[in-house]
Structure 1
Amino acid sequence: MVKPEARAFVESLEEIDEVLVIDKKKAHRGLGMLKLIRDIRKRNFRILLSPHQSHRTSIIAWLSGIPTRFGYRSAGFSMAYHHRLKRPMELPEIHRLLRFLKDSICPDVSLEDDIPHLEETETGRHEAQELLKELNIRSPILLGCSSVWATKRWTPHGFAELARDLIKKYKSDVLLIGSPADADVADQIIKVAREFVGEDGLRRIHNVCGKTSLPGLFSLMKRSQFLVSNDSAPVHFGCAARIPVVALF
């Protein structure tokens, strides 16, 4: 069960039989959550794995009717779970999730198998190819210039200087990537860059925030040289795309 924006990704994985969507902002907001719970109960699932800590997730688990439920003992309303597991805060999040699997239903899972795995979709591949064709570029450099959390964002001036230096060193175009909500941040970076980047350099900096879906962004990464990004979703997509990634903290 995933958020709407993640659906296209997980549906492309051959290991996945079916994807349920939880839309907290629209369809399943408020009493709409009861509709989701009824849908889950109809399916007679046998096992529930919930590496989430919110009260909402615990309540869904409690009302799901699923006979075997695994969750964290530190979760809100943790009594919803039959098996309450320790959340090892000393480990990185990816290793916490692998440990969750190991301690629940996959005792043989290796904590070393920690590289995300995603598959390109036909739609995503087409989006990326069309965007690069429209911009008339190949093998760009990507900058993940924003984040949902303002405290995680590097400064517009910092990204503008970095774009200038990367263009000078690699003679490549730089794409500022993100969601539609990040477009203003990217515009601000380009505005700052006008102060010290020449006209030729400005022509090589492109704001493509919101120009692709998430599968399209993933396909774009697979056709790029490398990624420099704030601590945000593009970091994980870049790792899954097997390109060099520099994360800014």
Structure 2
Amino acid sequence: MMNGQAFLQVENVSFGYGKQYVLKDVSLSMYSGEYTVLIGPNGSGKSTLIKLILGLLQQQDGQIQIQRSRVGYVAQQANRGLADFPATVREVVASGSYGQIGLLRWMGSKHWQGVERALDQVGLTEFASRKLSQLSGGQQQRVYIARALMSNPQLLILDEPTVGIDVQAKEQFYQLLKQLHQQGLSILLVSHDLDEVISDVDRVLCLNQSIYFYGSTQEFLREQKELLPNLFGVSTIRSIL
């Protein structure tokens, strides 16, 4: 459930390259305990908005207010590049503490206990000693959620995390996000799988350079027949897939 004051505020933000805008006059707010799904066609500026929120890019207009130390991030296709790295699942999750303790400092028992808690949260305790490369794509993505949880985030941002994983793994992944949300974690999910998460989320954000819709799930379901043709050229959620 949403409560309290907004901990993320994006106000009239624009970003572009040269004279070509990628995002124009975007505003949104997120509250504690909120689960928002961000949808839009390819090239609509979704990943750019995420990078702006994370501070990886600097907006040209507007302002963003957020405590970035309380944000966990799972990047698009996060398993690429690290999947063949000779590290165990436990070691990969532990690397999520480096932002707090420093890369060259030893982890104490408190941090290792945090690793075990994070592994338990994502259901991977029994895989802790395995090499990351021995896990399936869906399991690897859960490892990266566990790593993100090590920073004790208030908000978890995920950029199309289920790309390239099978249907069953995808269902398990979204069930995990639902459980984390029920435990009080705020989530901002970029996804094309709207029909699979629509019953779990609080709000829907439709983006195509500018915001086409930003409101409750119930409002979106009432208005989707008018919204989706303009956004995707389709008339129902399932047609997006």
Larger radius of gyration: 1
| TM-score bracket relative to the smaller structure | under 0.3
Q: Which of structures 1 and 2 has the larger relative contact order (alpha carbons within 8 angstroms, sep 6+)? A: 2
Calculate the TM-score normalised by the size of structure 1.
0.25
